[in-house]
Amino acid sequence: MIAGFIDGPLWYFSLTVFCIGVLWKLASIIFGKRKNDLSVARASGIPGAIKTVFSRFKADKGMVPHIRVQIVAGYMFHLGLFAVLFFAAPHILFIEENLFNLDKIGINWLAMPHWAFIVASEFAFLGLLMLWLHRLMNPVSRLISTADDHIAAILTFVVMLTGCMALLEGFSELRLLHRFCVELFLIYFPFSRLIHAFTFIPSRAFTGAWFGRRGISS
């Protein structure tokens, strides 16, 4: 019964909350109240917005020696998680068969080999742990962190851990546990710091446009 609930109604509920929550958040940001700038622009803000969306993936050269931990751990975690999420064989199979029926319309992509999965998972785990330790130990990030930051980190860690445990395919309870954790993650996502995975784009674009219309590369 619990298995049916987790695989059925709770899955659809969490997915709906996630999708509507993210769309609502993005729509409220994109179509929300903001004043028009009445000063005469040096250049259009659009190229600046587009440029900044991509340029902030790379840290300023002068800053690098001071923020190595955040850069290295940040990239390890995000790239590792991205690889595992979209290129792990069980995830591809799940997406193709259950989520959008992509296999029926001929959309599929290759899974990464098992060794690559192990490397990506280790990167993601190590990156997340380093970021979390940095959050706890560095005086700056300790001061500015909120409960939400810690909950988001713990939830992500639990999802990743149960995901690895679910690889033991002989135990269907472990797969269910992972799926349940993912569902909690999806429900929490739109109302938490995790939403930065989407809102970083309009944030960078706003700032890039602001600087861009003044003729400044940001």
Partner 1 sequence: MVEEVLAHSDYIDKYTRELVMSERLERGLQTLRAQMDTKVKSFFSSCVHCGICAEACLFYTETNDPRYTPIYKTEPMRKVWQEEYTFWGKFGKKLGLTKSLTEADLANWEELVYDGCSMCSRCSMVCPVGIDIAYIIRKVKEALAASEYSPEGLVAATKRAVEIGSPMGVKLVALQAQIKHVEADTGLSIPMDVEGADYLALLSSMEIINFPEYIEALARIFKHAGVSWTLCSEAFEATNSGLQIGNSVVAAELVERVVAGAYKLKVKYVISPECGHAFSAIRWDGPNFIGRAYDFKVIHILELLEELRNSGRLKTSGKETERLTFHDPCQIVRRGGVEAQPRQLLKSVAENFVEMTDHGRMNWCCGGGGGVSANERAEGLRLKAFNRKKSQLDELNVDTIVTACANCRLVMEEGLEENEMDIPIVGLTEVIAEHLVED
Q: Note the residues at the interface with partner 1 (CB under 8 A).
A: 25, 28-35, 37-40, 42, 52-53, 56, 59-60, 62-63, 66-67, 70, 74, 135, 138-146, 148-149, 191-193, 195-196, 199-200, 202-208, 210, 214-218
Q: Which is nearer to partner 1, 26 or 118 (CB)?
A: 26
| Nearest-approach distance from CB 131 to partner 1, in angstroms | 8
| Nearest-approach distance from CB 134 to partner 1, in angstroms | 8
| Nearest-approach distance from CB 87 to partner 1, in angstroms | 24
Q: Which is nearer to partner 1, 3 or 137 (CB)?
A: 137
54 half-sphere exposure, CB direction, 13 A CA radius? 5
Q: Which is nearer to partner 1, 99 or 133 (CB)?
A: 133
Identify whether the C-beta of residue 202 lies closer than 8 Å to the C-beta of residue 53: no
| Nearest-approach distance from CB 136 to partner 1, in angstroms | 12
Identify whether the C-beta of residue 132 lies closer than 8 Å to the C-beta of residue 153: yes
Place of tokens 């002068």: 62
Q: Which is nearer to partner 1, 55 or 90 (CB)?
A: 55
Q: Which is nearer to partner 1, 130 or 165 (CB)?
A: 130
Q: Which is nearer to partner 1, 5 or 75 (CB)?
A: 75
Q: Is the dihedral of CA 132, 150, 78, 12 positive or negative?
A: positive
Cα–Cα distance for residue pair 211/196, rounded to 1 Å: 21
| Nearest-approach distance from CB 13 to partner 1, in angstroms | 16
C-alpha distance from residue 199 to each of 2, 107, 189, 192, 205 (Å): 34, 28, 12, 11, 10
| Nearest-approach distance from CB 141 to partner 1, in angstroms | 4
Which two three-digit tokens encode residue 181? Answer: 């954790």
Cα–Cα distance for residue pair 183/37, rounded to 1 Å: 42
